Amino acid sequence: MAPRSIASLTVSFGLVSIPVKLFSATEAGHAISFNLLHKTCHSRLKQQYICAKEEVVVPREDMVKGYEFAKEQYVVFAPDELKAMDEAGTHSAEIAEFVPIESIDPVYFDKAYYIAPDKGGAKPYALFARALRDSKRCAIGRWAARGKQYIVMIRPVAEGLVMQQLLYAGEVRALSEIEIPKGEVKDAELKLAQQLIEQQSTDKFDPAPYVDDVRTRIEAAVQKKVEGQEFTMAEAPEGGAQVIDLMEALRASLERKAAPKAGAPQAQAAASGAGAAKPEAVEAEADARKPPRRAQESGASGKKAAKR
């Protein structure tokens, strides 16, 4: 079934106006949701609002909206007052500037829409998309809809355009608010980490192999319940081993990834740690670290002897 346009608008830059149609780029209805039921009879539950002071159920017609300006102190707004503060829909996205695509941190990305040319807009749409693609820039502008004003970014993808809502600066926390302790990075560890990245690198992102396993499990469980079968819960997986030696963890990762190329099954390589082809840099690094490893092993042997 072909997607339906959710809105029509005009993209304007300079004196050029492009009539376009808006399509949602994501499917919210794809998510699985559960309803709240009465435990005894499995009937749907109705939501009620209860006054915290009088402890009575409040019908919707007796509700008003208020803003808490101090603890438990509110200013109340009537519906027409709230309506008066809404942004009037303009049905237009006016471009304010063009910036390099890579200059926008994806942390600012919000909802995405596909935009396609509307009647009479095919030629300016193609021109705009080509100009953005060749310049490696995206358009930044404003769009008003549903009573709100949004920052939007229009960027080229494949043969079309995506309009991405952006969060305002005040809606994004600064990374500096998070305490990140400094850690020492050794050249040998960095070299192995870069090798591991190179070993697992691909030319482009393909989302197809990444499937929602949780959704699959829920659908299977629902089907079993519908058919009257008993649903058995799988045991929770054990936690991963604690990484103690960073170099050893990097080596093991490289060996595990290299094992299938050497003809050994990946599962066997991960279980035994043997038969995997080591990259030359890994072997050289292993030779350089042999004395400290022997010292470490002898220390471990001494601890075992002491325990005995």
Q: In this structure, are 255 and 143 located in the same domain?
A: no
Q: What is the pLDDT of residue 109?
A: 94
Q: In this structure, are 165 and 258 located in the same domain?
A: no
Q: What is the pLDDT of residue 269?
A: 38
Q: What is the pLDDT of residue 29?
A: 61
Under 8 Å between Cβ of 20 and 118: yes
Q: In this structure, are 140 and 20 located in the same domain?
A: yes
Q: In this structure, are 129 and 259 located in the same domain?
A: no
Q: State the pLDDT confidence band at 221, using cuts at 50, 70 and 90.
A: confident
Q: In this structure, are 151 and 260 located in the same domain?
A: no
Q: Which of 111, 156, 123 is nearest to 137 (CA)?
A: 156
Q: What is the pLDDT of residue 239?
A: 59
Please identify which residue in the block is written with the tokens 């670290």.
289
Is residue 119 included in any domain, yes or no?
yes
Is residue 213 included in any domain, yes or no?
no
Under 8 Å between Cβ of 165 and 152: yes
Is residue 240 included in any domain, yes or no?
no
Query: For residue 139, what are the β-bridge partners?
Result: 98, 154
Q: What is the pLDDT of residue 225?
A: 84
Q: What is the pLDDT of residue 28?
A: 67
Q: What is the pLDDT of residue 71?
A: 92
Is residue 78 included in any domain, yes or no?
yes
Q: In this structure, are 145 and 260 located in the same domain?
A: no
Q: What is the pLDDT of residue 284?
A: 44
- pLDDT tens readout for residues 41-80: 999 999 899 999 999 999 999 999 999 999 989 999 998 8
Is residue 187 included in any domain, yes or no?
no
* Structure token digits, residue 189: 């560890």
DSSP 31: S
Q: Which of 170, 192, 219 is the last residue of a domain?
A: 170
Better-predicted residue by pLDDT, 191 or 245: 191
Q: What is the pLDDT of residue 293?
A: 44
Is residue 158 included in any domain, yes or no?
yes
* Structure token digits, residue 36: 């709240």
Q: How many domains is the chain built from?
A: 2
User: Cα 118 to chain center, whole Å?
Assistant: 31
Q: Which of 108, 136, 170 is the last residue of a domain?
A: 170
Q: In this structure, are 166 and 276 located in the same domain?
A: no
Q: What is the pLDDT of residue 165?
A: 94
Q: In this structure, are 10 and 139 located in the same domain?
A: yes
Is residue 148 included in any domain, yes or no?
yes
Q: Which of 170, 196, 225 is the last residue of a domain?
A: 170
> Mean pLDDT, to the nearest integer, of 269-291?
43
- pLDDT tens readout for residues 183-218: 898 999 899 999 989 988 989 888 889 888 888 888
**CATH code at position 126:** 2.40.290.10
Lowest mean pLDDT, pick from 66-75, 89-98, 130-139, 226-235 = 226-235
Query: For residue 166, what are the β-bridge partners?
Result: 109, 151
Query: For residue 73, what are the β-bridge partners?
Result: 70
Please give the torsion angle defined by the CA atoms of residues 294, 298, 300 and 301, in that order, rounded to the nearest 10 degrees: 140
Given a cut of 80, is residue 273 above it in pLDDT? no
Distances (CA, A) of 191 to 242, 244, 268, 293: 22, 19, 26, 19
Q: In this structure, are 164 and 71 located in the same domain?
A: yes
Q: In this structure, are 275 and 136 located in the same domain?
A: no
What is the three-state SS of 144-199? EECCEEEEEEEEEECCEEEEEEECCHHHCCCHHHCCCCCCCCCHHHHHHHHHHHHH
Under 8 Å between Cβ of 115 and 154: yes
User: Cα separation of 163 and 115, whole Å?
Assistant: 7
Is residue 89 included in any domain, yes or no?
yes
> Mean pLDDT, to the nearest integer, of 136-155?
91
The parent domain of residue 19 ranges over: 1-26+49-170
Average pLDDT, the chain: 80
Better-predicted residue by pLDDT, 306 or 165: 165
Q: What is the pLDDT of residue 246?
A: 78
Give start and end residues of each alpha helix (H) in the chain. Answer: 79-85, 122-135, 187-199, 213-226, 246-258, 266-272, 280-288, 290-307
Strands 7-13 and 92-100: parallel
Given a cut of 50, is residue 242 above it in pLDDT? yes
Q: In this structure, are 145 and 293 located in the same domain?
A: no
User: Cα separation of 221 and 232, whole Å?
Assistant: 9
- pLDDT tens readout for residues 77-129: 998 898 888 777 677 888 999 999 999 999 999 999 999 999 999 999 999 99
Given a cut of 50, is residue 140 above it in pLDDT? yes
Q: What is the pLDDT of residue 285?
A: 47
**pTM of the entire structure?**
0.66
Q: In this structure, are 287 and 153 located in the same domain?
A: no
